[in-house]
Chains A and B, each alone.
Chain A
Amino acid sequence: MKYILFISLAATFLPSCNEDLLETIPNDRVSSEIFWQTDNDAIAAANAVYTYLPGAETIFNWDGMSDIAHITLMWRSESIIEKGSFDATIDKVNNEWDNSYKGIQTANTFLINVDKVQTKDQELIDRLKGEIKVLRAYHYIKLAMLYGDVPLITTPLSIEESRNLTRTPVAQVWDFVAQEFTDAAAVLPTTQEEKGRVTKGAALALKARAMLYASRYQEAAAAAKEVIDLNVYSLYPSYEKLFSYEAENNQEVILDNQYIEDIRGNSAFGYLAPFSQQARGEVVPTRKAVDAYQMNNGKDISDPSSGFDLMNPYANRDPRLRYSVFVVGDKLPNGETYNSLPSSGTADAIGYSENSTPTGFNIKKYVNKEDFAEPWDCGINIILMRYAEVLLIYAEAKIEANQIDQSVFDAINLVRQRPDVKMPPVTGTSQEDLRNIVRDERLRELAFEGLRYFDIRRWKTAEDILPGIIYGMTYYSNQDREFKTISLPSFVKAFNTGRDYLWPIPQKETELSPKLSQNSNW
């Protein structure tokens, strides 16, 4: 009997059946079903779209794949593109596609759902819609430039829908982009309370860039003119400081990717600074970039009358050279002197290590001494569109449209005569002259800001200027008593004219969405 009692007593310890055992609802994440109710939901969803703006390394790598810079680490897939030996399976070709569509998806989800929000502040919702349309169109500019015809997607897709996608002709993509920017500009304010948000100026400036890329010069010039006429933007007086912390959010910046140290930092310093700064200098300027900077008398260094001195090659040059590039003799962030000569014995000497510059140059833009301590966690904002580019877009569009007037010269010279640049004004008459002038000016003004790769492709000059081995600095060797020019004979940049002006559609995509056609010769 007592054992029956024991069992009964023991049974009271048995836990009762837990009905909810299998119905687990996560409480460490937000379920989609309870979202899209308040203004804060709309703001949070919009904020997420901003995170898809291109980051520091992506921006710098574009120039590394162009003629003016070089990617030092050969295992990067960007380096394989630089060599021209890539195909439709390579990471970079996939990633640019995937990341763009991720940004587009997030934007589409926002635009589809945001009207579910019960708001009393319709102005806020309209403004956010404008911002998100601009961010979405930003991705389409890049897709159109890299891949040509791409699927134009404006709503979230099911797997089934995505498998049946076809490519939209690029002209329609440009039409869409233009219309989106126009619509967004209509609702966006000229200035935003929170710096870094998309403004009316950003919509118009990006429209100008898109239309220039699309060779719709009238529209490009008109959009650029609209930005100029907003009278909100002007050139920052110091080119030298333009990429420093003290210049963040200055009057020249139209759109940037905003970073904050520790919380959302970027790797600008670590990625660009010379090796002696405990950084890796993964993208370095080539000789071509350095030679593009004129003498400060406005003459090209190749001009015998320019006064260029091979013994003193960096003196009396366009000041933007030494604001943008570390050359031998420059002050380093840690106070030491940059000396990349092969015999210098410093960590920056060519050949000292795989991370020492192979060309003798390092990029200086965005290398701020504040980031020396934590080179891979920088808070510096990465500029995606600034007023100087708008001026040069305006000039180029007018030149290409053959509507050359004083405003064209004014725009270019304004850029050249920034207080700490002060280069002589340009002159010229023929459309051809001016075309070359504005193109060279874009190189000098916008070097290492992620634009050159797209420029040489839309100008169709890549086939001429890209292929060949990479050259670095020329220096006088005291030991051998002669000038020596650094070259990288085993690294050859290549360009396949009939093929490379468009990237391939990623092979993974053409397999998964069989109705997507491939670009020619891929």
Chain B
Amino acid sequence: MVALALPCQAQILTALNVPLTQQSSANTINSDKRVLASKLAFKKVTSSYIIMPAKPSPQVKNTISARVATNWVVDVAVSGKVVSRTGEGLPGVTVILKGTSIGATTDANGNYALSVPDGGGTLIFSFVGFTTQEVPISAGGGTLNVTLFEDTKALEEVVVVGYGTQKKVSLTSAVSQVEGETLERRTTSNVQQALQGQVGGLTILDEGAAPGKENIYMRIRGITTLSGDNNPLVIVDGIEQRLTDINPTDIESISVLKDASSTAIYGSRAANGVILVTTKRAKEGKLSVSYNGYYAVQRSNNTPEHMGLEDYMRLQNIAWTNSTGSPIYTEDYIREYVNATDRLKYPLPNTWYDAVLHAAPQLENSLSISGGNETIRSRLSLRYRDQEGVIANSGAKIGEMRLNTDFAVSPKIRVTTDINYRYNNILSPIDENIVFYSMLQTSQWTVPKYPDGTYGISSDGHNPLMYSEIAGTSNTENEYILGNFKGDWEILKGLKFTTQIGARLDRTTGKNYRNRYEIRDYYKPDIIAKSVPVNNLTEIRNNMKEITINNLLNYTTTVGQHYVNVLAGYSQIQNYGGNLSAYRENFYNNDIQSIGQGANDATKSNNGNEYDWGLRSYFSRLNYSYQDKYLFEANGRLDGSSRFLGNNQYSFFPSFSAGWRISEENFWGSWLEKAVDELKLRGSWGKTGNQAVALYSGIPTLGATTYSFNDVPVRGFAQYQMANEDLTWETTTQTNIGLDAQFLKNRISFSVDYYNKITDDILLQLPIPGTIGLTAPPQNAGRVDNKGWEFLAGVRNDFGKLNLNANFNFSINKNTVVNLAGTGPYITSFGNETRWITAEGHPIETFWGYKTAGLFQTEEEIKNYPTLYSGTAPGDVKYVDLNEDGIISADDMTYLGQSFPKYNFGSNLNFSYKGFNLNLLLQGAAGAKTRIGGALIEMGIWGGFTHDIITDNYWTPEHRDARFPRPLKYDLRNFNFSDKDLMDRSYLRLKNIRLGYDIPTSITKIAGLNRVEVYVSSTNLLTFSELNEWNVDPETNDGTRTEAYPQTSVSTLGLNIQF
């Protein structure tokens, strides 16, 4: 009988030590069978087949592939219904005959039907969100009804950890994993943006910026170092890379390692946490093709409203009167101007946000082909992406390819090779920063562009539209190639050797071309309104090469109820590169953009530098568990870095962790078991390092400089920086206590972590007396603490046909500078700009400035209170004399709040109903402030953008309870950095909303497609923030806001096809 034959074969195969992997295809089984038949003919194995005529059932309409039957096997029909736990028919379930490409999808009622070659086999039923089931087919086919249960994979879930994987239940450290599928739901430019709001303890601030140049801050559990790099280490398939180097659709999963026990195995680079990315690999089976394409439109999130024309002129008159005694516009002129209809002759004060910013399209196509057999599997993915910017001459294009291939050389030897090529082209106006600067800070009173195309030039000589359109471009091309080879050899049962060699090549070429141009006055063309008489080109060539070698030896064994896993490894990284730049000017015309065509005279110049560094590491890990109940892990890494000299070159980073699965204990009574499926307590302690010190800091070197005698340049050499040969690592010691729980048949999961992270020997540019005459060397001195909580919760449930899957995360981080080695505080300041202080007892980069007590109302009040400036008058800001010494001075400045959010939260809500899927991502941050600065708040002081919020809201003798001070021309007295201009940066926003619809398979089948999904999505659709009244995005950077490429909202229409 067929039903008996298969297990029987399997036993025989096992007995003969012939591999029968889960992925073994029917073909191979059959061929093995033939081989066996020849070997074991006396057992007459094949005689048990019953030969039947093929009898296609009338229900067979969803069959997509009816394989031609072999001459000795005949197809039989199998059909049935797939239902959920509640008995509802499940549409869209994929049904596949194991090891073949024969398959079908359930219809709207959960019914399926297909014909399979008789001779047994197993059907695999899989559906997103449900546990995959394998059911053997009865001989001769027939009806096979299946109940699928919601995926309670938490128990089986495997988490990627450093140099390996671990079952989630036996994890003793703080690791969060995000599936690639979750990331794909967002239309983002890069992986960082997609990760935002998904992981507790991972703060991502998306400050916007032009396509390809996104300014994104990622911090795991706060800021640990003062001067160095606070970015987490990113490892992709074992090789250090940048997150921006990954195609989001290639990601299988991302693990965020947060505590020291999970990160210590990365030693000296792990202090800021580690992000592990695993890319997708092919599964055995027929080729599957997946396409995802979308078209999106981006719009600026920062579009402040300018004050009305007449209001603005009157504000200016008051400002001039307050400063000089007389107004600048006569009443007649105001009337004439306001009533004018010809806005070419009488331009509005500032229309740049309308003129310069526009909606910009974004297009992406990605395609993947994957499949293979038991010896070779391969996945090819292609992506092309074209994103325009919201200002002229800006945009980014990415084209990339990845080929991940797996070879099974023998049952014990597996080889994988991955190749990733990426082309990235970023275009921006040469003076992109000036475009945004001049939109906000200057450029009043002109027409952006006259009807004949002439640019208007503002009174102070600017036109941001002109800068973006004709000033020139910066065009950067980056080519990135990754080759990653990996071999696994199972030497003995449980003992595996792995070697990996990865090479990264990164080459950047750039052309920054500044155009020559001349703008004539629209009304008097003989007047040159603006001229840039010389064009020039700077070309850059940067290249980097990095070779990583990892060798691992891993041994796993289970003796009775003892489980032991030992890992020993060696790793080295060698990185070298160099940069070249060349400059020439005076090209024949602006279209000639090749360096050799510029003037070959003294104006040409070039520059370059080189670098190299190396890292050599030995590491080991021990996992031990007893009865899967008591878990223990130890890690250690010895890291050597070329950045340090002598005895400081090597440093050791250990960690220990332990876990107790309380729910596995006998005392966990049945009543408890009903409610709580899993309860685990875990704790960890460990040390990690940070080697973020500039290269060669320990070696005294001379810098080159240039002087000239009689117009002949001469070279000079001098030491500029003091060397510190005693430099060593920053060390972060982290303690973590966590609790994981699953309730109500795993419908609810909850996890909480508390951590205390202390970073010692922080590399500080410790100030040294100026009398030394050299720049301070980095020294190991400071200490910073980060303490915090992380809460994660997940809910999954079905309400009839409505399926809900929701995750929530909330984290608190308290950052404190504990010790600055008797120095500091460090205050960064430039005039009246935003001022930060890093001082003991306060978070890194706390705002530092004056407190204010409203506005002075009377001369009397001014007489009786110290003022910062002579000539203070009613309507001016009252800076508080905090130390009550009778004068306002720097001594009165105080802490005004932190700039980095203390609270971060996110929630991912997923609803599916029949073919519809709705996903909402809410994200927010709180506990931080930010400054409204520059023209946005300065009330037309110089002639920049003046926000509508100021209208009728500034001090005049008639309007004493105004929010803003009296206007003053060319006088900054009311804009010293103070609490008055600091706003709460807290926000909650609907970061992403996505609605997808799966076209019923009954329709898609007609076109021979497995799945077709159309979706619409939108980012940053709704934001709650105090900053809304300023029309600035709460995530944009501090200081003079909106002075950079804005945050955008993206509306997307997309299509997913699978076949």
Query: A interface vs B, CB < 8 Å?
Result: 3, 6-7, 10, 13-15, 18, 21-33, 35, 41, 43-51, 74-77, 85, 87, 89, 91, 94, 97-98, 101-106, 108-109, 151, 153, 156-157, 159, 162-163, 165, 194-197, 248-249, 258-264, 275, 278, 347, 351-355, 358, 373-374, 379, 487-492, 494, 506, 508-509, 512-513
On whether the beta carbons of A258 and B709 are closer than 8 Å, the reply is: yes
The interface residues of chain B lying within 8 Å CB-to-CB of A13 are 501
Answer whether A74 and B709 are a contact pair too, CB < 8 Å, given A6-B413, A353-B943: no
On whether the beta carbons of B501 and A32 are closer than 8 Å, the reply is: no
The interface residues of chain B lying within 8 Å CB-to-CB of A45 are 716-718
On whether the beta carbons of A75 and B831 are closer than 8 Å, the reply is: yes
Q: How far is the CB of B20 from chain A (nearest CB, A)?
A: 19
On whether the beta carbons of A27 and B870 are closer than 8 Å, the reply is: no
**Which residues of chain B from 573 to 591 have any CB-CB distance to chain A below 8 Å in the complex?**
574, 578
On whether the beta carbons of B970 and A354 are closer than 8 Å, the reply is: yes
Q: Smallest CB-CB separation from A31: which chain B residue?
A: B701
On whether the beta carbons of B708 and A195 are closer than 8 Å, the reply is: no
Answer whether A512 and B410 are a contact pair too, CB < 8 Å, given A258-B709, A263-B713: no
On whether the beta carbons of B708 and A28 are closer than 8 Å, the reply is: no
On whether the beta carbons of A48 and B707 are closer than 8 Å, the reply is: yes
Given A74-B971, A89-B827, output 12 extra A-B contacts at Cβ < 8 Å. Answer: A3-B409, A14-B549, A21-B572, A26-B699, A31-B702, A51-B716, A85-B869, A105-B773, A153-B771, A278-B461, A354-B942, A490-B970
Q: How far is the CB of A505 from chain B (nearest CB, A)?
A: 10
C-beta contact mask, B679-701 vs A, less than 8 Å → 1, else 0? 00000000000000001100111
**Which residues of chain B from 800 to 843 have any CB-CB distance to chain A below 8 Å in the complex?**
823, 827, 830-833
On whether the beta carbons of B771 and A353 are closer than 8 Å, the reply is: no
Please measure, in the bound complex, the distance between the C-alpha atom of A102 and the C-alpha atom of B769, giving whole angstroms: 11
Q: What are some 29 contacts across the A-B interface (CB < 8 A)?
A: A10-B487, A18-B572, A21-B572, A23-B642, A24-B613, A26-B695, A29-B702, A30-B704, A31-B701, A32-B701, A43-B714, A45-B717, A74-B971, A77-B831, A102-B774, A109-B719, A195-B709, A258-B710, A260-B711, A261-B603, A263-B602, A264-B706, A275-B460, A278-B461, A379-B711, A489-B325, A490-B324, A508-B770, A512-B769
B705 within 8 A of partner (CB): yes
On whether the beta carbons of B773 and A50 are closer than 8 Å, the reply is: no
Please measure, in the bound complex, the distance between the C-alpha atom of A14 and the C-alpha atom of B498, giving whole angstroms: 12
The interface residues of chain A lying within 8 Å CB-to-CB of B325 are 489
3 nearest A-B residue pairs (beta carbon): A105-B773, A75-B831, A48-B716
Q: Smallest CB-CB separation from B887: which chain A residue?
A: A85
On whether the beta carbons of B770 and A98 are closer than 8 Å, the reply is: yes
Q: How far is the CB of A266 from chain B (nearest CB, A)?
A: 11
- Our pick among A22, A101, A490 for the contact of B642 (Cβ within 8 Å) is A22
B24 within 8 A of partner (CB): no
The interface residues of chain B lying within 8 Å CB-to-CB of A512 are 767-769, 823
On whether the beta carbons of B612 and A24 are closer than 8 Å, the reply is: yes
The interface residues of chain B lying within 8 Å CB-to-CB of A97 are 770
Please measure, in the bound complex, the distance between the C-alpha atom of A101 and the C-alpha atom of B769, giving whole angstroms: 10
The interface residues of chain A lying within 8 Å CB-to-CB of B136 are none
Q: How far is the CB of B572 from chain A (nearest CB, A)?
A: 6
B547 within 8 A of partner (CB): yes
Quick one: which of B649, B770, B973 has the most chain A CB within 10 A? Answer: B770
On whether the beta carbons of A492 and B890 are closer than 8 Å, the reply is: no
The interface residues of chain A lying within 8 Å CB-to-CB of B640 are 22
The interface residues of chain B lying within 8 Å CB-to-CB of A3 are 409-410, 412-413
Answer whether A373 and B717 are a contact pair too, CB < 8 Å, given A31-B701, A261-B602, A263-B706: no
Answer whether A28 and B771 are a contact pair too, CB < 8 Å, given A47-B714, A263-B706, A278-B461: no
B323 within 8 A of partner (CB): yes
Quick one: which of B608, B613, B772 has the most chain A CB within 10 A? Answer: B772
B669 within 8 A of partner (CB): no
Q: How far is the CB of B1008 from chain A (nearest CB, A)?
A: 41
- Our pick among B328, B704, B717, B771 for the contact of A351 (Cβ within 8 Å) is B328
On whether the beta carbons of B605 and A262 are closer than 8 Å, the reply is: yes
B951 within 8 A of partner (CB): no
On whether the beta carbons of A28 and B610 are closer than 8 Å, the reply is: yes
On whether the beta carbons of B702 and A373 are closer than 8 Å, the reply is: no
Answer whether A490 and B942 are a contact pair too, CB < 8 Å, given A264-B713, A509-B769, A512-B767: no
On whether the beta carbons of B708 and A30 are closer than 8 Å, the reply is: no
The interface residues of chain B lying within 8 Å CB-to-CB of A379 are 711
On whether the beta carbons of B701 and A29 are closer than 8 Å, the reply is: yes
Q: Smallest CB-CB separation from B499: which chain A residue?
A: A14
B641 within 8 A of partner (CB): yes
On whether the beta carbons of A7 and B413 are closer than 8 Å, the reply is: yes
The interface residues of chain A lying within 8 Å CB-to-CB of B615 are 21-22
On whether the beta carbons of B459 and A162 are closer than 8 Å, the reply is: no
Q: How far is the CB of A61 from chain B (nearest CB, A)?
A: 14
On whether the beta carbons of A41 and B717 are closer than 8 Å, the reply is: yes
The interface residues of chain B lying within 8 Å CB-to-CB of A44 are 714-717
On whether the beta carbons of A260 and B713 are closer than 8 Å, the reply is: yes
On whether the beta carbons of B718 and A26 are closer than 8 Å, the reply is: no
On whether the beta carbons of B719 and A197 are closer than 8 Å, the reply is: no
B968 within 8 A of partner (CB): yes
On whether the beta carbons of A22 and B649 are closer than 8 Å, the reply is: yes
B451 within 8 A of partner (CB): no
Please measure, in the bound complex, the distance between the C-alpha atom of A89 and the C-alpha atom of B459, giving whole angstroms: 36
The interface residues of chain B lying within 8 Å CB-to-CB of A261 are 602-603
On whether the beta carbons of A259 and B610 are closer than 8 Å, the reply is: no
On whether the beta carbons of A27 and B610 are closer than 8 Å, the reply is: yes
B672 within 8 A of partner (CB): no
On whether the beta carbons of A109 and B707 are closer than 8 Å, the reply is: no
Please measure, in the bound complex, the distance between the C-alpha atom of A351 and the C-alpha atom of B321, giving whole angstroms: 12
B616 within 8 A of partner (CB): yes
The interface residues of chain B lying within 8 Å CB-to-CB of A6 are 409-410, 413
B609 within 8 A of partner (CB): yes
Please measure, in the bound complex, the distance between the C-alpha atom of A145 and the C-alpha atom of B614, giving whole angstroms: 50
On whether the beta carbons of B572 and A31 are closer than 8 Å, the reply is: no
Answer whether A489 and B609 are a contact pair too, CB < 8 Å, given A14-B499, A51-B716: no
The interface residues of chain B lying within 8 Å CB-to-CB of A48 are 705, 707, 716-718
- Our pick among B533, B614, B771, B773 for the contact of A509 (Cβ within 8 Å) is B771
Please measure, in the bound complex, the distance between the C-alpha atom of A25 and the C-alpha atom of B770, giving whole angstroms: 29
**Which residues of chain B from 608 to 627 have any CB-CB distance to chain A below 8 Å in the complex?**
608-616
B563 within 8 A of partner (CB): no
B18 within 8 A of partner (CB): no
C-beta contact mask, B762-782 vs A, less than 8 Å → 1, else 0? 000001111111100000000
The interface residues of chain A lying within 8 Å CB-to-CB of B610 are 26-28
B534 within 8 A of partner (CB): yes
On whether the beta carbons of B460 and A353 are closer than 8 Å, the reply is: yes
On whether the beta carbons of A29 and B708 are closer than 8 Å, the reply is: no
On whether the beta carbons of B889 and A87 are closer than 8 Å, the reply is: yes
On whether the beta carbons of B605 and A89 are closer than 8 Å, the reply is: no
On whether the beta carbons of B602 and A30 are closer than 8 Å, the reply is: no
Please measure, in the bound complex, the distance between the C-alpha atom of A7 and the C-alpha atom of B701, giving whole angstroms: 46
